[in-house]
Amino acid sequence: MVFKNIAFVAADTRQANEAHDALTAEYGNCAIGDADVIVPLGGDGVMLETLHNNIDSHIPVYGMNRGSVGFLMNSYEQKSLKDRLDSAVAVSLHPLHMGAITTDGAERKALAINEVSLFRETGQAAKILIRVDGVIRIDELICDGVMLSTPAGSTAYNFSAHGPIIPIGSELLALTPISAFRPRRWRGALLPDRAEVSFEILESEKRPISAMADFTEVRDVTQVTVKQAKDHTITLLFDAEHNLEERIIREQFLP
């Protein structure tokens, strides 16, 4: 693919805005609707926001790190951007689809590129029943919360909660508890990415739970169903020597 028209977007920080101005002066800046590629500048937050805002545009995204974490970003360099784009490695990802029902019967839907997470809203521990493809796997998980993560999100909050890092292309999802009290020895599970996972909130009035799909929060849920959204495809671009697969493998060997 030839990347002639570039759309730059920047996080609301001085460092990102300075990079935006410098790159725009050198390469121009077209509207996203006319772009061959979108280049977000900042950290993983602006990358996720850009992906969500353009999830059905089919425009590839090549991020450059002008933030703090930047796991999904390439290194920042002002020069030779078009050469880097031409030699970049493409990675296709499918987000997760979350369907939630609240205590008042409302239905909410959202997509998650990293993970869908459930959290207790009060000092009371959550009690959650978990089904995988309709089969009850845990009849009562007592915890602070639980999450289902994609491979791309497995190095983020999932990893901080002691969940496994999943290599890109492994066709797996990580189901990870957050501070589980019972079953005390359950550390989570790896599931095929075709699995449908449903969470039933037990004692939802006494123990209210919020569901998060990346940035989208739904409070006071009674049931949450999560499955991979095969009808949505996101394309990320990475420098060949620092592609996403290599980053995820390398992350597992860091001290």
- Domain of 89, CATH number, reads 3.40.50.10330
Q: Do residue 220 and residue 140 come from a single domain?
A: yes
Of 200, 189, 255, 247, residue with least CA distance to 226: 200
Q: Do residue 174 and residue 241 come from a single domain?
A: no
The DSSP annotation for 100-144 comes to EEETTS-EEEEEESSEEEEEESSSSPEEEEEEETTEEEEEEEEES
Task: Supply the CATH number for residue 109's domain.
Answer: 2.60.200.30
* pLDDT tens readout for residues 71-121: 899 999 999 999 999 999 999 999 999 999 999 999 999 999 999 999 999
Q: Do residue 82 and residue 142 come from a single domain?
A: no
Q: Does residue 47 surpass a pLDDT of 80?
A: yes
Domain range for residue 36?
Answer: 6-93+233-251
Residue 75: predicted pLDDT: 93
Is 44 an annotated catalytic residue? yes
Q: Do residue 89 and residue 210 come from a single domain?
A: no
- DSSP character at residue 61: B
Which phi and psi (to 5°) does residue 77 adopt? Answer: -145, 135
Q: Do residue 24 and residue 112 come from a single domain?
A: no
- Give the three-state DSSP class for 196: coil
Confidence bin at 228 (pLDDT 50/70/90): very high
Residue 57: predicted pLDDT: 92
Q: Are 138 and 130 in contact (CB under 8 A)?
A: yes
Pairing relationship of beta strands 172-178 and 209-213 according to DSSP bridges: unpaired
Find the range with the poorest average confidence among 182-186, 219-223, 224-228: 182-186
Residue 254: predicted pLDDT: 77
Q: Do residue 215 and residue 138 come from a single domain?
A: yes
Q: Does residue 186 surpass a pLDDT of 80?
A: yes
Q: Do residue 14 and residue 86 come from a single domain?
A: yes
- DSSP character at residue 8: E
Q: Do residue 221 and residue 241 come from a single domain?
A: no
What b/e sequence results for 181-217 when a residue is b if at least 16 CB atoms lie within 10 Å of its CB, and e otherwise?
A: eeeeeeebbebebebebbbbbbebeebbbbbbbbebe
Q: Which of 12, 21, 44, 133 is catalytic?
A: 44
Q: Are 1 and 8 in contact (CB under 8 A)?
A: no
Find the range with the poorest average confidence among 130-134, 223-227, 243-247: 243-247
Higher-pLDDT residue of 91, 168: 91
Tally of domains in the chain: 2
- DSSP character at residue 254: -
Structural domain includes residue 1: no
Q: What is the mean pLDDT of residues 190-203?
A: 97
Q: Do residue 54 and residue 133 come from a single domain?
A: no
